[in-house]
Structure 1
Amino acid sequence: MSVTSPGATNQPRYLDWKTLDRVKRLDVRARLVVEGFITGQHRSPYNGFAVEFATHREYTPGDDLRHIDWKVWSKTDRLYIKEYEEETNLKCTLILDCSKSMKYGEGPSKFDYAATATASLAYLMQQQQDAVGLVTFNNRITKNLPASSHPNHLKLMLHELENTTPDETSDVAQVFPQLAQQVRRRGMVILVSDLFLDLATLNEALKQFRLRRHEVVVFHVMHDDELTFPFQDNTLFRGLETDVQLHTEPRALRKGYLEAVGNFLADVKKTCASSGVDYVLMNTKDPLDAVLGSYLTFRQRMRRSAIQRG
């Protein structure tokens, strides 16, 4: 089943976190986010993650002319329609970071933002009748719900998300290799994390997923404070995953800090690109439905380009 735009013509008013914060239930938040970015799409149908070209059939009067394959017509002088099918057996594994560093921030914290994004993706995929699973991790796998398309499975995933509290460090030296071995059936793997972890281990895990022919997406969640370093007055900084604290004058550190963050982001992007992995930076100040909607529009555009090249 495809998710179809209701045909809105006005510029959408994307949901901000203040709107979502008034909704405590994660299932309602997920529905609001998904409906928010679908409303913002002006093209219909809106097929999100899981539509691909299937076959041709001969044109019959009344068929939508937009689906005529003009390349075939130029070679055969006959009209054929491109038919598409949804990958209703798509299997997606959502991997969510629940280490202590994800606790940072208010309205929302990184974890609030990431958990809502994870729930929204699960909600969207269930609407498309895809099988979705959930893995949470810090220095170990804390929860592993195998992928299922049963409606009650989504309720179970949302329950686990609502009852997950970020804790421990994000030591993934054992976690990611274990996941790469467990997720065997070809499908989609989506990692939602602040990526404060060993990038060499991340790189190897991404390569292992890709070797198994998974499509991999990394949603990199960062708080706006971490990206812009807005602090002005003397500030005490405390480590969330290490027992370190620093009392300092932030303006003296700002230039060096932003340079280090820029290098970090560049390294993460390079790591993802080297394995053919989609990378999306999520700033917690940005409306979540706008971020997801922009990425799904990008996916559709890339898929159409691939079909045209084919």
Structure 2
Amino acid sequence: MVAVEQYLKPELAAQIKRLDLRAQMVVRGFMQGLHASPFHGFSVEFSEHRRYAPGDDPKDLDWVAYAKTGKYYIKKFESETNLTGYLAIDLSQSMDYTYRQKLTKLDYSICLAAALCYLMVQQQDPVGLVTFDTALRASVPPRSRRSQLPAILSQLTKLKVAGQTDLAGSLTQLAAMLRHRSLVMLFSDLLSDEDTMLKSLRNLRHAGHDIIIFHVLDEAEVSFPFEGMVQLRDPETGATEPVRAADAAEEYRKAIQAFRTRLAKEFSESRIDYVPLDTSLPYDKALMEYLLNRRNRF
């Protein structure tokens, strides 16, 4: 447990401790489950390795890794592993939504971001934080030292939704900030203009940055569990529309599935990693995508 009291006001320390503890529990539980999964043998211990491929120099084989796994690994050079991470969190009003889950989309994103921050700090990877609505807001510059964890957790506990969002404009601002090749981990419901959002993400990718998108929706936004007459409200504009749930349910589910499928196709073509999530799902799926992306990046 990182000693957070020296960095925070006393009234924030308890909140940070709870978030820190939750992040540790998520990561440790995930790593324990990993050993019983088809990915047995791959853990933080081997995150600095990649599988041997034809053309690699056999002199670079790690025989200790081979003895433990029975597979051929090559330890990455420092230049291959020095990738700076940015946790980028959407603070738009729509992220405050929840129907029957305990966590809003923002709460879920904060917990997942905390777990990823904990994991990156443990692996000595530089990690920073940016938040945005219509523009970039709070930011913590990336660092790899252990004091980075409480610095980022301090910001995460203070986050609140703000209003409307300009995802494309915020990503353009972020791209202008990045001086070196970086890994951008985006947490958003992606409820923004689709064309401009895709264009800004492609530009970020074409600039040489790696991107993982954690597309966080509320469980009700995916399953549409409503009954009777319901009043649908746009959380950012306040506009409402009454609908009969039985009439809208099938069409809505098809539309949300088509939205996710379309995004998955667009991101795949741009070599952007896409992780569709909803707030009923455990964090294991997102952490697995992060680790697999990190392992296969080079």
Is this a same-fold pair by TM over 0.5? yes
Give the deviation of 1:170 after TM superposition.
1.6
Equivalent residue number for residue 64 of structure 1: 66
> Structure 1: which 5+ runs fail to align?
1-21, 70-80
Determine the C-alpha separation between the residues in 1 that align with 2:163 and 2:46: 33
- Structure 1 residues 121-170: Cα deviation after superposition (integer angstroms, max 9, x where no partner): 11100000000010111111111222111222221111111101112112
Does the 8 Å CA contact 1:132/1:149 hold for their aligned counterparts? yes
Determine the C-alpha separation between the residues in 2 that align with 1:232 and 1:226: 14
Pick from 148, 152, 155 the counterpart of residue 147 of structure 2.
152
Equivalent residue number for residue 41 of structure 1: 34
Output aligned runs, 1:287-298, within 5 Å. Answer: 287-288=282-283, 290-296=284-290, 298=292
Give the deviation of 1:36 after TM superposition.
1.2
Pick from 266, 269, 291 the counterpart of residue 271 of structure 1.
266
Determine the C-alpha separation between the residues in 2 that align with 1:248 and 1:64: 60
Equivalent residue number for residue 92 of structure 1: 85
Does the 8 Å CA contact 1:96/1:114 hold for their aligned counterparts? yes
**Quick check: 1:165 aligned with 2:170?**
no
> Structure 2: which 5+ runs fail to align?
1-14, 51-55
Output aligned runs, 1:178-193, within 5 Å. Answer: 178-193=173-188
Give the deviation of 1:272 after TM superposition.
1.0
Equivalent residue number for residue 232 of structure 2: 237
Q: Which moved more, 1:50-59 or 1:187-196?
A: 50-59
**Quick check: 1:119 aligned with 2:119?**
no
Count the aligned residue pairs: 271
Alpha carbons of 1:176 and 1:61: their partners in 2 closer, same or farther (altered >3 Å)?
A: closer
RMSD: 2.9
Does the 8 Å CA contact 1:139/1:172 hold for their aligned counterparts? yes
1:276 counterpart SS class? coil
Equivalent residue number for residue 228 of structure 1: 223
Alpha carbons of 1:122 and 1:250: their partners in 2 closer, same or farther (altered >3 Å)?
A: same
Does the 8 Å CA contact 2:31/2:43 hold for their aligned counterparts? yes
Q: Which moved more, 1:127-136 or 1:153-162?
A: 153-162
Give the TM-score normalised by the residue count of structure 1.
Answer: 0.78
Determine the C-alpha separation between the residues in 1 that align with 2:154 and 2:63: 50
Alpha carbons of 1:251 and 1:98: their partners in 2 closer, same or farther (altered >3 Å)?
A: same
Percent sequence identity over aligned pairs: 32
Letter of the aligned partner of 1:32 in structure 2?
A: M
